[in-house]
Structure 1
Amino acid sequence: EKIFNWPLYQRVLLLSGVVALILAGFVYFVYLEKHKEYVQLEEKKNTRLAKLQEDQRIADNLPKFKSEYESMKRKLDRALAELPNKKEIPTLLTSIASLAKDNGLDVLRFKPGAEKTQGFYAEVPVSLKLVGSYHEVAMFVYDVSNLARIVNINNLKLDSPKMQGGRNLLSIECLATTFRFIEGGTAPTKKKKRKKR
């Protein structure tokens, strides 16, 4: 009753204050909590929608990915056919020595070196010293290049030809490097070169 006796402007102010408190309580306790929950749900929805679109894109391209996978698998199989495994290395080295002899070269040194691991493959170097004519050396290198396996001939050093038994003979030193596949190996990492300042 006391409030009803107050002047009109005071009653309006009191009523406005009560309404403002109720609105502030609603905004703070209900609206802001729900808005926060709404924002979180909206972010979750957008994340899942993006994942769904990515999954849909993958599903749409699945036949293409499968064909690319099969193509890459065939290429890997072909590449692995050129990289012998550890069991085939002695046979390959024997065939290199046989090629030298078949082409008329005298093998003075045939020394397999230590393997150098390079990630998923290893280099198998063989130091060779051969004596023969220029043509015999050329035919040997040609025959090595036609092997089913990869063999690189590097560091080729030719000495001056010498006449011997009516033949012009060269003394050749070289490094024949073949490669073998390492099961479960990883690709070599490239080290970044730092610039000098």
Structure 2
Amino acid sequence: MASQLDVIRKLPPSRLAVVWLGGALLFGAAWYFLFYADAVEAREAAQRAVQQAQAELAEIEAKERSFNADLTAVTRAEKEIEAAKAVLPLNDATIDHLMRTFQREARLVGLTIERWTPGAEQKQDFYAKLPVEISARASWHQAAEFLRRISALTQIVNVENLSMHARNKNKGDDSDRVMLDVKFQASTFRFLTDAERSASKGKRKGGRRRRKGG
């Protein structure tokens, strides 16, 4: 070993510089392959992991925004459905509710409902019409105010076939107020259930088949 060092020391400076440079290059190459390359690979792997995590985070945030938007849309749709139910109810208690409403409004204006006769329900594609024949007694002012209040209801109510005739006075009635016999048809509506719509479609298809067969 000492002889090898002596040989190196005896080399000319130019060749000695080449030897030292070669050793440095060998040392650098060994350090690069043993340590630096692993560090670079580890850093690149860490960067890829960070990029993947950022992409996953962006995807999660996008899904969260979409979920929040869907939730907002569902909430808005539920409110619209509830509002629609107030206008067009879903159940068979529609007529009972209408009668209570009419009785309340009649009491408020002084109109007297003398007869209430529900008619047959008339089913359409997605709703049913529920007509009621009504006979009442009222003054001109009471009848007009009652009809105005009915037209302002949230629930849809149609008034058709309206007729008003002066009522014969009872004996002993000395008032100047003219009383009227008021008759009209009031119709309200309700949504059909899914089962009712399916049954209605089945009946229409059956009718078409019978007509073709005939």
TM-score by structure 2 length? 0.49
Partners of 1:87 and 1:171 in 2: CA distance: 28
The residue correspondences of 1:7-26 to structure 2 (distance < 5 A) are: none
Q: Which residue, 140, 144, 162 being the options, matches 2:146?
A: 140
Displaced runs of 4+ in structure 1, greater than 6 A? 66-73
Partners of 1:122 and 1:77 in 2: CA distance: 18
The residue correspondences of 1:108-147 to structure 2 (distance < 5 A) are: 108-147=114-153
The structure whose residues are more often helix, as a share, is 2
Letter aligned with residue 120 of structure 2: A
- Calculate percent identity across the aligned residue pairs: 31
Partners of 2:128 and 2:139 in 1: CA distance: 32
Pairs aligned (count): 129
User: Is the radius of gyration larger for structure 1 or structure 2?
Assistant: 2
Letter aligned with residue 174 of structure 1: F
The residue correspondences of 1:93-112 to structure 2 (distance < 5 A) are: 93-112=99-118
Partners of 1:179 and 1:88 in 2: CA distance: 8
**Which residue of structure 2 aligns with residue 26 of structure 1?**
none
**Which residue of structure 1 aligns with residue 85 of structure 2?**
80
TM-score by structure 1 length? 0.53
Q: Which moved more, 1:106-115 or 1:89-98?
A: 89-98
Shift of 1:148: 2.5
Deviation digits for residues 135-191 of structure 1 (CA, Å, limit 9, x no counterpart)? 1001111111222311111110111465563121111110010111211154999xx
Kept in 1, the 8 Å contact 2:94–2:189? The answer is no
Query: What 5-or-longer segments of structure 1 have no aligned partner?
Result: 1-61, 190-197
Q: Indicate how the Cα distance of structure 1 residues 87 and 131 shifts in structure 2: closer, same or farther if over 3 A, else same.
A: closer
Letter aligned with residue 133 of structure 2: S
Letter aligned with residue 82 of structure 1: V
State the Cα RMSD in Å: 3.3
SS across alignment from 1:86 = coil
